[in-house]
Amino acid sequence: MVERLLGGDAAALARLLSHVERGDALGEAAVDRLYADTGRAHIVGITGPPGAGKSTLTNALIGAFRARDRRVGVVAIDPSSPIAGGAALGDRIRMGEWHADPGVFVRSMAARGHPGGLAPAAADAIHLLDAAGFDPILIETVGVGQGEIAVAGASHTVIVVQGPGFGDGVQALKAGLLEIADVLAVNKADQPGAAEVARLLRDELGAFHVGGRTPPVLLVSAIAGDGVEQLAGEIGAHLAHLRDTGGLAERQRQIAGADVLARVDAVLRGRLGGQSGWGGTADELLREVAVRTTSPAAAAAVLLGRLAQ
């Protein structure tokens, strides 16, 4: 399947993506085999509050990049079912107009309760799409809250999508999204209040980017297509900026660090019994912490000591 993927076989890519999403040994082995063939794609994170139009804007960006003859990969994170753990919206057809285009590959993945708006297998999915020759790779976060900042650790360029009708108009400020933005896109530009949101964001940006590059704030309408070409151009301009300033190597190290630490975290959680139903000694320690007979620090020391054995 690895050889077929490198040869452009979309079916092999889809099968390997299923293996990495399940977290099985074959998927892990495939990523290990292919990793030397990665690191070429421009990874673009797309995040922001729910209702801002991230999916529609992602779809519009696919069109802009395809018009430039770029092969576009998309990892679209869906909310998880709280019972089964699968993608609650996984059965829908996303961005269906690109289904027959061999230059576009869209994969929808369940967040599975993972904090930060990304699915646990997202990094491996990005590696597979990268090895298969897709560039750029767009990551659309889950959109179930404002704290979706994990995308910054997985991307070269972060697009924060905002829209009118979000209270004070700068909702991104409250969750740290403004600090991670490389480009801000105020979507639904044809609606009342959009221009005011853009003005407020421009006024506030200086506080987070003193002495550095100030992210551009663009008014776009993903449905009408207005401003989408300019947004695609700013995405390319940011990559050029990273290359010119040496920032690309730092982003690569950042992505690598987040990837490695996420895998360490997953192994530790697995050995301790997962996020719920800890079991055994861990469960007993948690009960002691809950009734204040053991402190959190003492319990953590016991668990770390057991991991070291």
Per-residue pLDDT reduced to its tens digit, 185-197? 999 998 988 998 8
25 vs 16: CA distance, rounded Å: 11
Is 116 a residue whose pLDDT tops 90?
Answer: no
Helix (H) / strand (E) containing 271: helix 247-271
Per-residue pLDDT reduced to its tens digit, 89-99? 443 445 667 78
Note the residue count of the chain.
309
Contact of 273 with 280, CB cutoff 8 Å: yes
Which residue would you say has higher pLDDT here, 293 or 90?
A: 293
**Torsions phi, psi for 35 (to 5 deg):** -60, -35
Per-residue pLDDT reduced to its tens digit, 157-192? 999 998 887 655 555 555 567 788 899 999 999 898
Candidate CATH numbers 1.10.10.10, 1.20.1630.10, 3.40.50.620, 3.40.50.300; the one for domain 2-260: 3.40.50.300
Give the per-residue pLDDT at 267. Answer: 76
The tokens describing 43, both together, are 């990874």
pLDDT band of 147, cuts 50, 70, 90: very low
Return residue ranges of the chain for CATH 3.40.50.300: 2-260
